[in-house]
Structure 1
Amino acid sequence: MLKRALLSLVLGLVLFFSASIVSGFAAENQALDMLDLEEVISDVKLFYIKEPDQDTMVRGAIEGLLESLKDPYTEYLSPEDLKYFKSSVEGDYVGIGVQIQPAGDYPKVVNTIEGTPASAAGIKPGDLVVKVNGRDIAGEPLGKVVGEITGEAGTKVRLTIRREGLKDIDLELVRSNISTPTVTSRVVEGEIGLIRIKIFGESTEDEFQKALDDLISKGVKKLILDLRDNPGGMLESAVDITSDFVEPGQVAVSTVDRSGRREEYLTEGTPAGKDMPIVVLVDEYSASASEALAGALQDYGHATLIGGKTYGKGTVQVVIPLSAGGVLKITTAKYHTPKDRVIDGTGLMPDIQVLTPYLPQAVAQRYLKNADTNIITLEVGKNGSTVNGTEVKSGRVIQQEGASYLPLRLMFEALGYRVDWQQGDGSIKVTGFQKEAIFHPGGGRFTINGHDYPQGAPLLTIDGETYVRDTVFSLFDISQKQEGSKITFEKKP
């Protein structure tokens, strides 16, 4: 009898739901609309085995809807997330001192602020955040991740960091009050000054103007503008800084929406730095508003870009308040440079490619001094090098079987060449001074302007860096001199 009762109950349920399914089949070709969403929510409330939490369910529906757009920059920010978002742009917040942006499944670190928990823990640009408090965050909206990393001052957060070539690193950090200016500046050499912009916030233009005026008062006539590791921020701030170098009334950047409607942001005011030779330092983490500023200065011929290809985040987000609290941060348009270049997905190519860490500033100083001769000095047994009189935290000499090996990319980039790794066969191309050389991994074969050197010099790979024997440089008309433990290489035009 019990079995019959259970069977009757099951059959009754099947018949009950079959009626709904059959009626649904009649409309299977109709597009889903908001009524369907409301119906699903209603059915979950009525029939789900557990009583669902209304806030959790609605937030999940919102996040799922936004995730379906496949746009990591469109997201819902809760009131707590919004508080962090605003304070980080303003430069004051509670957290660990790290800036992250979307990069595939996991957010990537683009910058750590000196003197903060993240910096003290050794977190570096390029690291991926894969877990927060032990929970894998693959595919989660950036705002949600940021909300979990931030919190009350003095509380702890556990992060799992993934770094190429290493096992995942587990760190426990104590959140603290972070207060930092968005702009720093200094005189680096003679008439050359440097201004670094960390992020484009509400106070950035005022900070930048003060820094520029101060450098000019100190006799600076040439400028290095450092936008490396800058994830962007407020577009208006980038436009204001463009106005410091471009005549008023010119297009600083345009935004184009999905219907093709264009909005132009024009320069205004007096350009205090109009006549200054400028180098802009960029890298793979220069994004959004920093790309807009760099692109404008490049288009108008006011600056030379040195470094690596930029990130390619060329979209505009607006923040729409929601009646229940929180906001919708949604992508509405794409950036176009004054010459109508589209930044999104492509980025900006530097005029002079320099990918060796710590080297771009030294190359920028050489460029601004119009130096004809390039000189690099390394010392056996010590890390670092000196490039045209500027100390660089890259480079070392490897001695093996009586021969000296030098870091290939550093050496050639410091001496004025361009270096590219070829994806197809792993070869390394070096170009410059009317020469093209191809170094082939394994065996030591290389060619210069088509001439083959079958046993030229074997390449060494140590800690992911490629080294070449010092005898190779004479084939590039590069002179070499050794005094004690110091080895100097010089390239004349």
Structure 2
Amino acid sequence: MKNSKLLISILVTAIITAGITYNLVSPKEVTLLNEEDPFSKLKSTYNLLQKNYYQDVETEKLVEGAIKGMVESLEDPYSVYMDIEEAKSFSENISSSFEGIGAEIQENDGSIIIVSPIKGSPAEEAGLKPKDVIQKVDDKSVEGFSVTEAVMLIRGEKGSTVNLVVERPGVGNLNFTITRDTIPIETVYSEVIEDQIGKIQITKFSESTSEEFAKALSDLQEQNVKGLIIDLRQNPGGLMDKAIAMSDIFVPKGENILQVEYNNKTKDVYKAENDAMIDLPTTVLIDGGTASAGEIMAAALNQSAGIPLVGEKTFGKGTVQSAKGFEDNSSVKYTTAKWLTPDGTWIHDKGIEPTVKAALPDYANLPYINPDNVLKQGDSTPEVNAAQQMLKALGYDGVSLNGYFDENTTKIVKQFQQDQALEVDGKISEGTTIKLIELLQSKIKENDTQLDKAIETLKKDL
């Protein structure tokens, strides 16, 4: 009896402590389920809420909530139910330009992660990096959000701003204030660089990418290039069929481009159907932002055409998705299969290792400084340390690198401001910050050590 009273006391205390109040009506009967109908519990719950919930319920909300819950139960970051607005946003990202910051994201274990910023986008210019974890969007936590829910918060009209708090591995939390812009449809950029080498950068695989790529190749061939570098860095992927078509240009006829494995272990094997149309020495650039369709092309060219990969290990996304639209313009995007490299390797969560490893200079990975902040003598913050590192990278050798804004840092900031015809006040604020970032980005482009290594690798075959 004593033990029973103690147990009741503990239970009552636990309920009070948790701040929960119950006013339960004792159930008079148990709802029977139809064992032959796996949806009988779902239907019963739906009918129960429609009849007995204390407020009016919207049928559409109940149905959409059930669908979302069903898809979320898969615990697959690439499978998601998209309502009408979300489905429209997804379609725009694949087929046309849109307004936003220009970054591919994914959900992983309840976190929203940057896969890759798009070339020339506000996200790239602000300094977002692959693997950055988005904590907040405009002070709203996105923990537990789906990708589409996060996208709807991050996107917005051109000219408007959005504030992101991200956690960067090894650095900690960083603040980014980004001005949204139109993210263009163009996905392929080409140029002739030193020693008649053609360079083609592919930023993602959208509906127009294969046509853009074919034109870029044709233009470079007309300029009599001697070799080719394909830059797949920061490419978050896109449409698998475009990656297959573009790989077919390089892979010898009959060789594997990729394999697709379904849940019943059957496989579709995609082979090159045409004689290789490009016989120029070729090298491919990859990094941690190369994902999905970008990895398909990189693996195909490496394993089936013997083309070397230069750079850093890729992101590691080895699954295939399909999207099924509904009459009301909503849709479900869901994972249908694994994709395997030509030799049957599943690179999911592992990535592809480069043939030749090459990293960018350390200053290419410096954290972002918010131009809205004012850094001044006496401050001691990670942003001060980043600014000091930037000044050193730009040739100001005497600057301290301890994160403390001392008198010497003030002196060097004034010298920098004088050199750049800025207001000389010794503080790092909007104008000085923007100039620091601009000059650093220019230096990174001028000192692209990964591209240099790709050129060096390519020249061995010229």
TM-score (norm 1): 0.65
Letter matched to residue 450 of structure 2:
P
CA–CA separation in structure 1 for the residues paired with 2:236 and 2:260: 18
What displacement does 1:115 show? Answer: 5.0
Letter in 2 for 1:353: K
1:323-376 CA-to-partner distances (Å, cap 9, x unmatched) read 3431111111111222222232332222222234542211111111239xxxxx
The Cα shift of 1:155 comes to 4.7
The answer on whether the counterparts of 1:308 and 1:350 sit within 8 Å (CA) in structure 2 is yes
5 Å-filtered alignment, 1:31-430, equals 33-113=38-118, 116-164=121-169, 168-269=173-274, 271-273=276-278, 275-357=279-361, 358-370=448-460
> 1:464 matched to which residue of 2?
none
Structure with higher RCO (Cα < 8 A, 6+ apart): 2
Match of 1:18 in 2: 27
From the superposition, tell whether residues 267 and 15 of structure 1 become closer, same or farther in structure 2 (CA, over 3 Å).
closer
Using the alignment, how far apart are the partners of 1:326 and 1:234 within structure 2? 20
Q: 1:295 to 1:282 in 2, by over 3 A?
A: same
SS in 1 for 2:348: coil
Aligned equivalents of 1:312 and 1:40: distance in 2?
40
Three-state SS of the structure 2 residue aligned to 1:19 is coil
Given that residues 198 and 225 in structure 2 are in contact (C-alpha distance below 8 angstroms), is that contact kept between their aligned partners in structure 1?
yes
CA spacing shift, 1:114–1:295, aligned 2, 3 Å: closer
Distance in 1 of aligned mates of 2:303 and 2:231 = 18
1:19: Cα distance to partner? 2.6
Larger Rg: 1
Distance in 1 between residues matched to 2:151 and 2:36, nearest whole Å = 35
- Tell me how far apart the structure 1 counterparts of residues 244 and 324 of structure 2 sit (CA, whole Å): 22
Q: Report % sequence identity.
A: 34
SS in 2 for 1:140: coil
Partner of residue 462, structure 1: none
Q: Note closer, same or farther for the CA distance 1:188–1:162 as it changes in structure 2 (3 Å cut).
A: same
Measure, in 1, the Cα distance between the counterparts of 2:185 and 2:102. Answer: 10
- Inter-CA distance 154–52: structure 2 relative to 1 (3 Å threshold): farther
Aligned match of 1:420 = none
Task: Give the structure 2 partner of residue 436 of structure 1.
Answer: none
| Superposed displacement of residue 167, structure 1 | 5.6
Structure 1 pair 321/180, CA: closer, same or farther in 2 (3 Å)? closer
TM-aligned CA deviation for residue 175 of structure 1: 3.5
Structure 2: how far apart are the matches of 1:59 and 1:146? 19
Q: In the comparison of the two structures, how many residue pairs are matched?
A: 354
Distance 1:170 1:355 in 2: 25
The residue type paired with residue 92 of structure 1 is S
Deviation at 1:267, TM superposition (A): 2.5
TM, length-normalised to structure 2: 0.69
Tell me if structure 2 keeps the 8 A contact 1:279–1:306. yes
Q: 1:103 to 1:249 in 2, by over 3 A?
A: same
Contact 2:258 2:340 in 1 (8 A): yes
Q: Which residue of 2 aligns with 1:478?
A: none
CA-CA distance at 1:71 after TM superposition:
0.6
For 2:459 and 2:351, locate their aligned partners in 1 and report how far apart those are by CA, in whole Å: 28
TM-superposed deviation, 1:284 = 2.1
CA pair 158-59 structure 1, distance change in 2 beyond 3 A:
farther
Q: Is the 8 A contact 1:84 1:150 kept in 2?
A: no
- AA matched with 2:204: I
Q: Per the alignment, in what secondary structure is the counterpart of residue 69 of structure 1?
A: coil
Residue identity in the other structure for 1:315? T
1: CA distance, partners of 2:268 / 2:102: 34
Amino acid at match of 2:106: Q
Counterpart secondary structure, 2:27: helix
| 1:254 counterpart SS class | strand
Q: Note the alpha carbon deviations across 1:377-428, whole angstroms, 9 max, x for none.
A: xxxxxxxxxxxxxxxxxxxxxxxxxxxxxxxxxxxxxxxxxxxxxxxxxxxx
Letter in 1 for 2:195: G
* Contact kept in structure 1, 2:137 and 2:154, CA below 8 Å: yes
Using the TM superposition, give the Cα deviation of residue 301 of structure 1 relative to its aligned residue in structure 2, in angstroms. 3.8
Q: Which segment is superposed worse, 283-292 or 123-132?
A: 123-132
